């Protein structure tokens, strides 16, 4: 099978316009006859469901939380990019496109990224119209700031809660459609399988998390907006409920999984405190605008930060990258933090942390200004650590944050299964091997508000789709299989909790396929994962009933999928014989320890096809063609 | 449903009723207090105030009827709110600590309200529905307050009223929406001053009459 | 100073078969750096290994923004620390040997699903009644077409910071949802984008709230004191104004 990305022909800037003109339209009167299933209510899912509802489609919206407003997009702090050039500092659609492509280390598709940059401006306009309380300057215009990996100020924000405000906007739009009757909400439902009829995605089976009942839902197309798989690492900045189950089960039904090894490690998180830690908390990277990252020059220097004089501090990012300084992209910042800690210069109790110091900014600009910008972040830091960041520098360490990989999609955001679309973090499309700050919100909303509503229409108008019934044999087979699976999990009756397996899986991945990867480690990691999966199958204990609200059961199902998925992640990492973006294989690096790409052999998307239980997945390559940018080595010096 | 009925039967509408009627009582209390302060200047001054008041004739009757209607609204709405609020939490907390928002005044509003209602009935029967053909109102007052029991009941009742208005005063502005971060502290302080004035102004009358006159 | 503490937990357990009651658990060797939910994780893991049903509690982001978690701990919504969600409450604020009572939010409008998990879909229903600006995707004017003063944006933001956790309802002596509703109505009525629908929205949301079985507001201000985002009761005053505009004009 060759992967056809279905990129429209012609010049880059005109592709999206031409696509929209060529795209078949669904007659307005017919729209309500089409049922579209949207799984997930984060930025991508909620905005897609709302926009499709506005167009008149009959939409069913599912989420695992008690309300659509809880989706983890809500936790995004820093901001959202748009090529508005309000700052008059040289920004343009092409520059945003270029920065994103370059930031992704030339492992994303030109056409998709350009469309993203074009649409970025519409997103801001729309969000302002929705009443999102963005920060403003004194003249009443939108305030903006610069963000990691960019030298222009194009990031719009609402204090440190931009994701929350944008999500609540999308949630409001969604609830408006619920009130109109075009969207039906199904909260506390977990998608456990995708159902194909005649090779096309026609529905899903979900478990009602309150009653434990399995429910079938049929439709004409399915959109997965179920987020990323960062929680495979157990400790990540993702929410506890974030999981890979929906995309993983779609993969097992034939959707290709692209670039699973591209896992972004965010540089500014609060360091790990202990064994029972359940998640890591991100400190917005906007802090790097005013904060300076440093470690003591002397390894093992355990003095109080205040007692270490300027001359004995190493501001290593400013030293190594004079032009970008503390604003280097996330992968570079993370890698350097790990390197410094590996040299024994790490600070704090565990030695796994570096300082992020805002003392200079507080001194030069006053506490009040810093407080108005970062007050809520400082508060959060103090709550978690019990230390006051106005007085002592914050300690930070990298943590798994975002996953650039995801279901393979074409220009339409359709996966290799006709009728199955993937939006937001769940797809792989726009960020290549590394995502720039403030781009995730942009992509989620771009997919949901502005791309999927067009492309899904094109699919529906050009496909002949008969009626699919939720009582059909495909659905009852899927339900029976899930039910067996659940019964099996409950019956193992071993001695260990699912979370303890998850914790061990996370440790294996972090140690063997984390910030800097080695072939030997990864191979060893694969064995460890396989052993752990076998142990899980024999020794997990899941108490409670199937027909009940049973969080232990929910979690066990998700951990089972993580255990399978982790193997694909490491397999992909092993097969990419180069370093790029967040994927650093230590065998492929420059003398200065920078990622060394192999554009000749690896300028492609690695899309994996499921080939059956305990069988090697099949690798398909989508070559990446760069017509508008020259492939350069990223340098932030 | 008629828009007006719909409005006043809504939760905010009920707050509005409580606030408007409450505001009227506060106004009434102020006037009542100013009038009663004449007692501290002796019998002659007090009786001259009473005479002036009664000279208003039908206006007084109108105000009395008005107050009666307002009282009915205040009490009925308050009772309704009390039971509705109980109904909104069918199972109480086994352990509950207040976070610092509540005051004694606010926490006891319904109870102090019912006590005040009982007190008003007593008060009216003591001083309003009395035969004044052969004695002055001052005589009635001094007769009643010669009893320590009455002094005690009236003093306590006034304290209860003070607590009730300590919450009621600023609260009515909040309910009316006439509150913002500029005026909030002022309203809180004025409410406190008013409550204290009520407590002192009215509160010492029984003792004053009992012991000083 | 010891880095760990031991606690006795009195936890509300309720399910389809059990109408509800307190059960006692020991939480041993709890690190002071743990969050309250991580402490519950530890207890739950022991229960799972023992083949018993773990304590059901809602949680997701564990960084105080999703609004999913929340229980009444020792009589206080989200525990005794100010402006904190339960996931942000750290064990360093407890002492060795403490007895901790944990109950679900209690309100007629929030029926218990299991143990500490309650159904807060009534909050969604209120938003559904009008908690949005009626604008369709596409065709919005340029984002800077309408200047909005900094102060106004900040005021709106402060109201918009609500995470919909329901602590205001849980803490209110009357189980009223006025702070939640007031916050959304305020956020949208402060901004010019929300002005055209402000009165209609206030009317729709308030009357919906009334129908859902929440109590009435008696200005006790417990909601403000417990709100993890520090939302002010002045948002309620603003909602009242908007409601009166809708009703009388």
Q: Where is the domain boundary, C70, C103, C136?
A: C103
What average pLDDT is seen over chain C? 97
User: Cβ B11–C206 below 8 Å, yes or no?
Assistant: yes
**Mean pLDDT, rounded, for A554-569:** 98
**pLDDT tens-digit readout, A65-96:** 999 999 999 999 889 999 999 999 999 999 99
The verdict on a CB contact (< 8 Å) between C135 and A67 is: no
Question: pTM for this structure?
Answer: 0.96
Tell me, yes or no, whether A488 and A377 share the same domain.
no
Q: Is residue C196 part of a domain?
A: yes
Which of chain C's residues have a Cβ under 8 Å away from the Cβ of A541? 48-49, 51
The two three-digit tokens of residue A277, written as one number: 């830690």
Backbone angles phi, psi at A264, to 5 degrees: -85, 130
Nearest C-alpha in A relative to C87: A384
Residue A1 has pLDDT above 80, yes or no: no
Nearest-CA residue of chain B relative to C238? Answer: B177
Rounded to the nearest 10°, the torsion over CA C222, C224, C225, C231 is: 160
* DSSP β-bridge partners for residue A196: A201
Domain count, chain A: 2
For residue C1, pLDDT over 60 is answered with no
Residues A514 and A392 in one domain: no
Q: Which of A373, A398, A423 is the last residue of a domain?
A: A398
Same domain, C67 and C130: no
C173 and C230, same domain (yes or no): yes
Q: C41 lies in a domain?
A: yes
Domain hosting residue A307, numbered range: 267-398
How much is the pLDDT for A594? Answer: 81
Q: C213 and C140, same structural domain? A: yes
We report the CATH number of the domain holding residue C201 as 1.10.1060.10
**Dist. CA A586–CA A520, nearest whole Å:** 11
Residue C111 at interface with chain B, using a CB cutoff of 8 Å: no
- Residue A81: the pLDDT is 97
Q: Are residues A394 and A485 in the same domain?
A: no
Contact between B11 and C176 using a beta-carbon 8 Å cutoff: yes
> Residue C191 pLDDT > 90, yes or no?
yes
A488 and A619 co-located in one domain: yes
Q: Which candidate from C140, C156, C160 shows the least CB-CB separation from A125?
A: C140
Q: Which chains touch A (3 or more CB pairs under 8 A)?
A: C
- Asked whether residue A35 is domain-assigned, the answer is no
Interface of B with C in 61-90 (CB under 8 A): 81, 84-85, 87-90
For residue A468, the SS3 value is coil
Residues of chain C neighbouring A277 (CB-CB closer than 8 A): 34, 38
C-alpha–C-alpha distance, residues A434 and A163, integer Å: 19
Which residues are A356's β-sheet partners? A293, A394
Cβ separation A276–C188 shorter than 8 A: no
Find, in chain C, the residue whose alpha carbon is nearest to that of B89: C107
Q: Is there a domain that residue A361 lies in?
A: yes
Q: Please give the pLDDT value at position A446.
A: 98
- Chain A CB contacts of C60 below 8 Å: 65, 70, 72, 239-241
User: By residue range, what is the domain housing residue C57?
Assistant: 4-103
pLDDT in tens, A411-442: 999 999 999 999 999 999 999 999 998 999 99
pLDDT for residue A146 is more than 70: yes
Give residue-wise pLDDT tens across range A235-254. Answer: 999 999 999 999 999 999 99
* Most confident of the ranges A372-376, A465-469, A567-571: A567-571
Nearest-angstrom CA–CA distance, A104 and A124: 23
Task: Give the model's pLDDT for residue A374.
Answer: 85
Q: Do B85 and C109 touch (CB under 8 A)?
A: no
What's the Cα-to-Cα distance from A114 to each of A13, A101, A329, C60, rounded to whole Å? 7, 9, 20, 34
> C235 and chain B: CB distance < 8 Å anywhere?
no
The order of strands in the sheet holding C4-13 is C21-31, C4-13, C99-103, C72-73, C76-77
CB < 8 Å to C198, chain B: none
Domain boundary among C103, C136, C157: C103
Query: Is pLDDT of A470 > 80?
Result: yes
At residue B1, the pLDDT reads 66
Mean pLDDT computed over every residue of chain A:
95
Residue found under tokens 């929030």? C110
C211: in domain: yes
Q: Where are the alpha helices (DSSP H) in A349-497?
A: 359-365, 367-385, 440-445, 452-462, 473-492
> Domain of C21: which CATH number?
3.10.20.30
How big is chain B, counted in residues?
213
Among the listed residues B7, B11, B23, B13, the one whose alpha carbon sits nearest the alpha carbon of residue B171: B23
Residues in chain C closer than 8 A to A240 (CB atoms): 59-62
Q: Is the pLDDT of residue A633 over 90?
A: no
Q: How far apart are CA A199 and CA A416, in angstroms?
A: 10
Same domain, A390 and A490: no
* C51 and C98 co-located in one domain: yes
Residues C127 and C93 grouped into a single domain = no
Strand partners, A155: A81, A145
Residues C44 and C126 in one domain: no
If asked whether residues A498 and A378 sit together in one domain, one would say no
d(C-alpha B165, C-alpha A262), whole Å: 65
**Rounded Cα distance, B117 and B73, in Å:** 12
User: Residues A272, A397: contact at Cβ < 8 Å?
Assistant: yes
If you write DSSP's letter for every residue of chain C in order, what string do you get? --SEEEEEEEEEE--SS---EEEEEEEEEEETTSBHHHHHHHHHHHHHHTTPPPPP---SSSSS-S-----EETTEET-SSTT--GGG-BGGGS-TT-EEEEE----TTS-EEETTEE--HHHHHHHHTT-S----SS-PPPTTSS---HHHHHHHHHHHT-----HHHHHSTT---HHHHHHHHHHHHHSGGGGGGHHHHHHHHHHHHHHTT--------HHHHH-TT---THHHHHHHHHHHHHHH-
pLDDT tens for each residue of A183-206? 999 999 999 999 999 999 999 999
Task: Report the pLDDT value the prediction gives residue A149, as an integer from 0 to 100.
Answer: 63
CATH number at residue A547: 1.20.58.100
Verify that C94 and C188 share a domain, yes or no.
Answer: no
The H-or-E segment that residue B188 falls in is helix B184-203
Is the pLDDT at B20 greater than 60, yes or no?
yes
- Asked whether residue C47 carries a pLDDT value surpassing 90, the answer given is yes
Instruction: Identify whether A346 is part of a domain.
Output: yes
Domain termination site, one of C33, C68, C103: C103
Search chain C and give the residue with CA nearest A242: C60
What values do phi and psi take at C33, rounded to 5?
Answer: -85, -10
Output the pLDDT for position B209: 92
Q: Is A412 within the bounds of a domain?
A: no
Phi-psi region of C247 (alpha: psi -120 to 50; beta: other; left: phi over 0): alpha
Contact state of C237 with B177 under an 8 Å Cβ cutoff = yes
Q: Check whether residue A619 and residue A490 sit in a common domain.
A: yes
Q: What is the pLDDT of residues A481-501, one digit of tens each?
A: 999 999 999 999 999 999 999
Q: Which two tokens stand for residue A224?
A: 């997965």
Greatest Cα pair distance, chain C, in angstroms, is 64
pLDDT (0 to 100) of residue A148 = 66
- Answer yes or no: is C46 within a domain: yes
Domain boundary among A364, A382, A398: A398
The whole-angstrom distance between C247's CA and the closest CA on chain A is: 22
Per-residue confidence (pLDDT) for residue B5, from 0 to 100: 95
Kindly provide the ipTM of the predicted complex, given to two decimals.
Answer: 0.98
Under 8 Å CB pairs connecting chains B and C tally to: 139
Q: Which residues of C touch B3 (CB under 8 A)?
A: 247
Rounded to whole angstroms, how far apart are CA atoms A563 and A559? 6
Q: For position A590, what pLDDT does the model report?
A: 87
- Which tokens belong to C127? 């938003």
Q: What is the CATH number for A297?
A: 3.90.700.10
Asked if the Cβ–Cβ distance from B102 to C240 is below 8 Å, we say no
Residue C115 lies in a domain: no
Residue C45, pLDDT score: 96
Are the Cβ atoms of C234 and B92 closer than 8 angstroms? no
Catalytic residue list of A = 330
Residues A183, A45: Cα–Cα separation, whole Å? 12
Residues of chain C neighbouring B107 (CB-CB closer than 8 A): 173, 220
pLDDT at A635: 75
Total domains in the fold of chain C: 2
**Does residue C154 belong to any structural domain of this protein?**
yes
Judged against a pLDDT cut of 80, whether residue A173 lies above it is answered with: yes
User: What domains are there in chain B, each with its CATH number?
Assistant: 9-90+102-211 (1.20.1300.10)
pLDDT per residue as tens digits for the range C119-174: 999 999 999 999 999 999 998 999 999 999 999 999 999 999 999 999 999 999 99
Q: Which of C54, C143, C162, C201 should one mutate to test binding to chain A, selecting the residue with the greatest count of A CBs within 10 A?
A: C143
Residue A345 lies in a domain: yes
What pLDDT, on the 0 to 100 scale, is given for residue A119? 98
C165-192 burial code (b ≥16 CB/10 A, e <16): bbbbbbbbbbbbbbbbbbbbbbbbbbbe
Residue of C nearest to B13 (CA): C244
Q: What is the pLDDT of residues C206-219, one digit of tens each?
A: 999 999 999 999 99
**Average pLDDT score, chain B:** 95
Identify the residue with better confidence: A510 or A372: A510
Q: Are B101 and C224 a contacting pair at CB < 8 A?
A: yes
Segment B75-103 mean pLDDT: 96
Q: In which band, very low, low, confident or very high, does the pLDDT at B93 lie, cut at 50, 70 and 90?
A: very high
Distance CA A209, CA A476 (A): 19
Tell me the pairing of strands A155-156 and A80-81: antiparallel
How far is the C-alpha of A205 from the C-alpha of A184, rounded, in Å? 16
Distance separating alpha carbons of residues A494 and A489, to the nearest angstrom: 10
A74 contacts A238 by C-beta, under 8 angstroms: no
Q: How far apart are CA A199 and CA B137, in angstroms?
A: 97
Please check whether residue A106 lies inside any domain of the structure. Answer: no
Q: Are A215 and A191 in contact (CB under 8 A)?
A: no
Residue of A73, A1, A85, A37 whose CA lies nearest to A228: A73
Q: Which of A358, A376, A398 is the last residue of a domain?
A: A398
- Mean pLDDT, residues C220-234 taken together: 97
Q: What is the mean pLDDT of residues A202-221?
A: 98
Task: Give CA–CA dist A18/A8, Å, rounded.
Answer: 7
């Amino acid at each position: 099978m060759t992967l056809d990305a279905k990129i429209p022909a012609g010049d880059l800037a005109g592709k999206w316009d031409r696509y929209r003109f060529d795209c078949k339209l669904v007659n307005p009167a017919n729209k309500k006859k089409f049922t579209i299933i949207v799984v997930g209510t984060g930025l991508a899912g909620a905005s897609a469901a709302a926009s499709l509802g506005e167009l008149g489609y009959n939409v069913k919206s599912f989420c695992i939380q008690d309300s659509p407003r809880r989706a983890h997009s809500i936790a995004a702090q820093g901001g959202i990019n748009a090529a508005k050039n309000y700052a008059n500092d040289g920004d343009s659609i092409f520059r945003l496109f270029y920065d994103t492509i370059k930031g992704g280390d030339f492992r994303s598709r030109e056409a998709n990224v350009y469309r993203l940059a074009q649409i970025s401006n519409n997103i801001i306009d729309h969000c302002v119209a929705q009443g999102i309380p963005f920060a403003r300057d004194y003249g009443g215009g939108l305030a903006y700031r610069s963000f990691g990996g960019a030298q222009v100020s194009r990031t719009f924000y609402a204090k440190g809660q931009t994701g929350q405000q944008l999500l609540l906007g999308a949630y409001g739009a969604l609830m408006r459609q619920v009130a109109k009757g075009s969207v039906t909400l199904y909260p506390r439902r977990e998608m456990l399988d995708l159902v194909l009829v005649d090779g096309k995605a026609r529905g899903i089976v979900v478990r009602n998390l309150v009653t434990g009942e399995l429910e079938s839902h049929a439709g004409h197309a399915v959109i997965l907006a179920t987020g990323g798989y960062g929680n495979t690492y157990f400790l990540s900045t993702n929410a506890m409920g974030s999981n890979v189950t929906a995309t993983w089960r779609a993969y097992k039904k034939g959707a290709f999984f692209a670039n699973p090894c591209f896992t972004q490690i965010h540089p500014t998180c609060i360091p790990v405190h202990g064994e029972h830690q359940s998640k890591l908390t991100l400190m917005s990277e906007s802090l790097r605008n005013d904060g300076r990252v440093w470690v003591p020059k002397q390894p093992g220097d355990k003095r109080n930060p205040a007692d270490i004089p300027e001359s004995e501090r190493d501001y290593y990012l400013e030293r190594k990258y004079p032009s970008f300084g503390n604003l280097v992209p996330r992968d570079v910042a993370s890698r350097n933090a790990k390197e410094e800690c590996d040299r024994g210069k790490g600070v704090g109790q565990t030695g796994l942390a570096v300082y992020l110091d805002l003392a200079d900014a507080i001194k030069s600009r006053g506490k009040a200004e810093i407080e108005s910008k970062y007050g809520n972040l400082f508060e959060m830091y103090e709550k978690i650590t019990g230390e006051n960041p106005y007085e002592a520098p914050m300690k930070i360490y990298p943590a798994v944050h975002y996953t650039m990989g995801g279901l393979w999609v074409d220009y339409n955001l359709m996966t290799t299964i006709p009728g199955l679309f993937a939006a937001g973090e769940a797809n792989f499309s726009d960020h290549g091997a590394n995502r720039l700050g403030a781009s995730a919100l942009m992509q989620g909303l771009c997919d949901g508000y502005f791309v999927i509503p067009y492309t899904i229409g094109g699919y529906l108008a050009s496909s002949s789709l008969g009626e699919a019934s939720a009582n059909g044999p495909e659905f009852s087979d899927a339900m029976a299989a899930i039910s067996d699976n659940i019964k099996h999990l409950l019956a193992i009756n071993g001695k260990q909790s699912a979370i303890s397996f998850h914790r061990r899986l996370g440790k294996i991945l972090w140690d063997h396929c984390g910030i800097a990867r080695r072939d030997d480690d990864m191979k060893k990691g694969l064995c460890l994962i396989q052993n752990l999966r076998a142990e899980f199958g024999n020794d997990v204990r899941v108490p409670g009933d199937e027909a009940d609200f049973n969080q232990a059961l929910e979690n066990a199902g998700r951990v089972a999928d993580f255990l399978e998925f982790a193997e694909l992640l490491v397999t992909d990492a092993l097969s990419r014989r180069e370093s790029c973006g967040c994927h650093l294989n230590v065998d492929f690096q420059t003398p200065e320890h920078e990622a060394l790409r192999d554009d000749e052999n690896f300028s492609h998307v690695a899309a994996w096809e499921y080939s059956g239980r305990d069988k090697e997945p099949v690798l398909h390559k989508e070559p990446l063609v760069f017509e508008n940018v020259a492939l350069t080595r990223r340098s932030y010096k | 449903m008629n828009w007006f009925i719909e409005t006043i039967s809504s939760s905010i509408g009920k707050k509005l009723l409580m606030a408007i009627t409450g505001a009227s009582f506060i106004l009434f209390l102020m006037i009542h207090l100013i009038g009663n302060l004449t007692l501290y200047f002796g019998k002659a001054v007090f009786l001259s105030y009473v005479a002036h008041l009664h000279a208003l004739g039908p206006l007084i009757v109108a105000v009395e009827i008005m107050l009666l209607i307002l009282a009915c609204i205040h009490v009925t709405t308050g009772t309704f709110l009390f039971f509705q609020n109980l109904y909104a939490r069918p199972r109480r907390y086994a352990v509950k600590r207040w976070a610092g928002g509540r005051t004694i005044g606010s926490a006891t509003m319904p109870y102090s309200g019912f006590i005040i209602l009982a007190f008003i009935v007593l008060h009216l029967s003591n001083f309003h529905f009395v035969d004044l053909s052969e004695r002055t109102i001052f005589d009635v007052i001094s007769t009643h307050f010669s009893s320590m029991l009455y002094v005690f009941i009236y003093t306590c009742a006034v304290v209860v009223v003070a607590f009730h208005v300590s919450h009621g005063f600023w609260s009515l502005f909040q309910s009316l929406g006439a509150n913002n971060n500029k005026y909030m502290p002022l309203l809180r302080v004025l409410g406190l001053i008013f409550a204290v004035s009520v407590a002192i102004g009215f509160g010492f009358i029984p003792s004053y009459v009992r012991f000083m006159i | 100073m010891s880095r760990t503490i031991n606690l006795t937990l009195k936890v509300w357990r309720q399910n389809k078969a059990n109408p509800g009651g307190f059960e006692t658990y020991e939480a041993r060797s709890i690190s002071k750096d743990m969050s309250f939910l991580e402490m519950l994780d530890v207890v739950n893991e022991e229960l799972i290994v023992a083949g018993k049903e773990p304590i059901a509690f809602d949680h997701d982001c564990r960084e105080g923004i999703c609004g999913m978690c929340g229980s009444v701990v020792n009589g206080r919504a989200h525990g005794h620390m100010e402006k904190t969600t339960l996931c942000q409450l750290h064990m360093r604020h407890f002492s060795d040997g403490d007895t901790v009572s944990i109950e679900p939010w209690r309100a007629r409008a929030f029926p218990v699903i299991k143990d500490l998990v309650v159904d807060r879909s009534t909050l969604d229903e209120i938003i559904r009644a009008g908690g949005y600006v009626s604008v369709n995707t596409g065709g919005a004017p340029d984002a800077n077409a309408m200047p909005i003063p900094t102060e106004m944006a900040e005021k709106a933001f402060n109201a918009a910071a609500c995470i919909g956790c329901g602590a205001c309802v849980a803490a209110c002596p009357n189980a009223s949802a006025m702070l939640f509703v007031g916050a959304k109505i305020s956020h949208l009525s402060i901004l010019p984008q929300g002005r055209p629908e402000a009165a209609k929205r206030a009317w729709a949301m308030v009357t919906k709230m009334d129908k859902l079985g929440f109590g009435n507001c008696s200005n006790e201000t417990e909601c403000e004191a417990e709100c993890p985002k520090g939302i002010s009761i002045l948002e309620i005053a603003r909602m009242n104004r908007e409601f009166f505009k809708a009703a009388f004009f």
